[in-house]
């Protein structure tokens, strides 16, 4: 069990599958109760949390909607009385050819990836400030430091996550709240396996394997490769670490 985790409450978005589900399972093993938040059904993730001996609730929420986030926060507070940890892992990453990119496409991707991070974090910051303890982690992406095409809104949203993390760390440091980001590489999640491969690759397996070969650790990244970083950054051991973006991508991007 990580230091300081016992009986804390975490809100994890994108928790129905992939990274969010992996984070929920690991934090439950660390002793954390979890609100599993997703626009999809996160009940299976809540069962994983309960199987680890912790309390859980599954809440449907559109993180890009202010009203939906307010309703979600009210349910969390009604159930647990507070949230100590927020992990913003809800996000989408469709390929968008620049020649056909519309403003509606841009707003949808930024709305979920960046606006959602802002709305969910802001919903729980007042309580964290009052209690003098909080942990906020958001997902950036190693695409921010990579040469890729077809992802202008996505990469822009992930750059925004880094800016949000750095600025919010300065605002919230005096209140015992740390704000950090994790930067995964191409990870084998349902969202990644379900999209078409980038140009030049016949299948997503081809793309996964090609990315693995430009990493120092030459294997495909899995959700469980990221849970240790989340566990550490939400623990008391990381109380003096804030405003940072941690690459967890097998050594593909260096910082």
**Residues in CB range of 228: below 8 A, 6 or more apart:** 26
CB-CB contact of 177 with 125 (8 Å): yes
Measured distance CA(36)–CA(172) in Å, rounded: 24
CB-CB contact of 20 with 90 (8 Å): yes
Catalytically annotated residue among 80, 118, 154, 208: 154
State the burial class of residue 138 (Cβ atoms within 10 Å of its Cβ: 0-12, 13-18, 19+). Answer: buried
- Residue showing tokens 């979920």: 112
State the burial class of residue 81 (Cβ atoms within 10 Å of its Cβ: 0-12, 13-18, 19+). Answer: exposed
**DSSP assignment, residue 81?**
S
> Annotated catalytic, 115?
no
Say how many residues make up the chain.
255
CB-CB contact of 8 with 31 (8 Å): yes
Q: Which is it for the CA torsion 112, 117, 122, 125, positive or negative? A: positive
Any idea which residues carry the catalytic annotation? 154
């Amino acid at each position: 069990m990580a230091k300081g985790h016992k009986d804390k409450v975490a809100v994890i978005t994108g928790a129905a599958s992939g990274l969010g589900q992996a984070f929920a399972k690991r934090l439950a093993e660390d002793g954390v109760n979890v609100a599993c938040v997703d626009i999809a059904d996160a009940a299976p993730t809540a069962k994983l949390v309960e199987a680890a001996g912790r309390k859980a609730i599954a809440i449907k929420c559109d993180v890009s909607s202010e009203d939906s986030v307010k309703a979600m926060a009210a349910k969390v507070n009604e159930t647990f009385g507070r949230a100590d940890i927020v992990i913003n892992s809800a996000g989408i990453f469709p390929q968008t050819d620049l020649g056909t990119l519309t403003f509606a496409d841009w707003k949808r991707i930024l709305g979920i990836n960046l606006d959602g991070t802002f709305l969910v974090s802001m919903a729980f910051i007042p309580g964290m400030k009052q209690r003098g303890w909080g942990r906020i982690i958001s997902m950036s992406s190693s695409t921010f430091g990579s040469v890729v095409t077809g992802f202008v809104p996505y990469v822009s949203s992930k750059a925004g996550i880094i800016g949000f993390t750095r600025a919010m760390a300065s605002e919230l440091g005096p209140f015992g709240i740390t704000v950090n980001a994790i930067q995964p590489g191409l990870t084998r999640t349902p969202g990644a396996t379900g999209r078409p491969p980038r140009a030049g690759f016949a299948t997503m397996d081809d793309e996964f394997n090609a990315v693995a070969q430009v990493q120092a650790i030459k294997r495909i990244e899995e959700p469980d490769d990221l849970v240790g970083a989340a566990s550490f950054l939400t623990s008391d051991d990381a109380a003096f670490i804030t405003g940072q973006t941690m690459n967890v991508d097998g050594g593909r991007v260096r910082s």
